[in-house]
Structures are given as structure tokens and as C-alpha cells.
Amino acid sequence: MRQMRPAEDPRVHVSLAGLRALEGDARRLSFLPRQPARSVLNGRHASRLRGRGLNFEELRTYLPGDDVRAIDWKVTARTGEPHVRVMTEERDRPSLIVVDQRMSMFFGSVHAMKSVTAAEAAALAAFAILAQGDRVGGIVFGDETIAEVRPQRTHAALDRFLGALAHANGLLGPQAAAPRPVSMTTILRAVSRIAPRDHLVIVISDFDEIDEATHRLVDALARRNDLVLCLVSDPFADDMPAGLRLVVSDGELQAEIDTGDRSAHRRLGEMAKGRLAAVLDWQRSLGVPVLPLTAAEETLPQVRRLMGLAPRTRPGSAA
């Protein structure tokens, strides 16, 4: 495991202690169906989150006052006596937080690394979900490692998730190997296996390495689960400076790109903006909420803003 230096800049790498310290900041965040009016998870007419499902409790004879909509007509026809299906709300709902810690995330031009923004957003979501009584787990993936924590309603499981997140984040660095990037399609296939249906799935990534298969998997996940995408970006991609010499690699081959070349500069900008546009379009075409996060700002204020909450007040003032 990579040894963290005592004076590590928290904008470059997160620590387990730093992620644990976000628990108090997550108190007012919620992923339940009832959302603040200004939350991006609150659709024009209703919440984008379905909430907990229903469990079958029992089948019994009809009693005066029972809802006629609960009558099981097949059983009624077979027995000749009215029967109703009794359903109860699930005590909790499994949630899966999928966090990108690939080398493409180890970049930041203003405030912090995208990998740090993603890790902090994931920790805030995990604490909020556990506080609302739901099970929480996650998938933390890099280019060579994937850690899975099955959803549970315990602080121990949440701590394992945070530990996996801090470890994967600590592996990133300028001297780290540059393997062939794992695709989002590969990761989403793993998500489909763990969360086949009725989960809350939150994916936090820059969505590098997407294709038409990714689009199909996002669509399938959204049909069977509550899916939320958190798109992490950096302003450098929106306004890429000219005159830079960038070294890029696919894990096997390496090349130098001069952004002073107008043609190269234009193609790089179009590629980055095209990927962002493709993910944002999933919100329109698939009805999947997309929360845009930027590495140019502190994580907590923008998460609160996206969730429809007012800016956090200073200690001692009203919340």
C-alpha cells in the first residue's frame, strides 16, 4: 500500500480520517423521494427517486374496510372467496455508490484533483444514505483494481467502503503506472451484477472511456433501479490552453501532443466536450438525473447546492 506523507495536501489525496470527518456535513443531505424544490433530484412534477419498495407480507381473506385494489382476483376466482394481498414497505433499500479512481481522475487545474472531488462526494452520499436508514455499499475502481463492498446497514460496512476509497485514491500519483484504462462499460456490467433491481445506484466519474454499450447499460440500470450520475469535470477541458505539450498514453503506447498546433488543440477540445455532452444528454434521452461536479470548487458547497439546500451557515448561526 502506498504510504501517505503526514503533510499530504488534501486537495491531491484524501485520507481515511478526512473522509470520516465528513459525516457531520452529510446530515442534511437526503436521497429519499421527498426532495427540496430546488434539488436536481426533484423532477418537474415528482421526485426522480422512487424510494423503498414493497414486500409481500401475507394473503388473507377480505375484511370490511380493506382496499379493493388489494384484492387478488386470481386467488379469489380459484377459492370463490375474496382474498387480498397484504404488502408492507421495505424497512430499508440497498444503495450502491460507484466511484471512479482511475488515472484519468488524477487531474486538477484549479482547486483539487477530480479523484478527490469524487471521493469526497462519495463519502457524503454514503453517510447520508446510512443516516436515513438504508443499506449502503459500493464499488471503488481504478485502472487495475476493483473493490466491492456489499450494501449493509452498518457503520462497519461504510468504514470498509471509505477504507477502499482512501486506498485506491492513495495509489494515484505522477509516478503511478499507466495501464490501459478500464472502460465504464466493464464497470457498469459489474454494477448490474450486484444491483440487479430496486437499488439506489450513484455513479461518480468523469465517464472517460464510454461507448454505445455504456449507453445501453445506463438505460438498463435506470429501468430497474434509481440511477444518479455525478459527472466530475475540470475547467481545463472546457478551455484548454494552447501552447502546452501533453504526454498521453493508452497503457501501452505513448505520444506527445502539442496544443499549440491549432488542429490538435481543436480535436482535443472537441473530444472532451463531446464526452461531457454525451453524458449530459442521458438526462434528456433516458431521464437519468446528472449532477455536475467540478474539481474547481470545494465539494460540500456544490453538493448542497445541487441537492437544493441553502449554503452552510457559520457555527453559531441558524442552519
What domains can you pick out in the chain, each with its CATH number?
16-43+92-306 (3.40.50.410), 54-89 (no CATH)
Q: Among 26-40, 59-73, 109-123, 171-185, which stretch is predicted with the lowest mean pLDDT?
A: 171-185
pTM of the model: 0.77
Is residue 292 scored above 80 in pLDDT?
Answer: yes
Strands (E), 101-235: 135-141, 146-152, 200-205, 226-233
Residue-wise pLDDT tens digits, 29-76: 988 878 888 888 886 545 566 665 555 667 888 888 888 888 889 989
Burial per residue of 281-294, b for 16 or more beta-carbon CB atoms within 10 angstroms, e otherwise: ebbeebebbbbbbb
Is residue 168 scored above 60 in pLDDT?
Answer: yes
CA pair distance 42, 45, nearest whole angstrom: 8
Is residue 239 scored above 50 in pLDDT?
Answer: yes
| Arithmetic mean of pLDDT, 280-301 | 92
pLDDT score at 251: 41
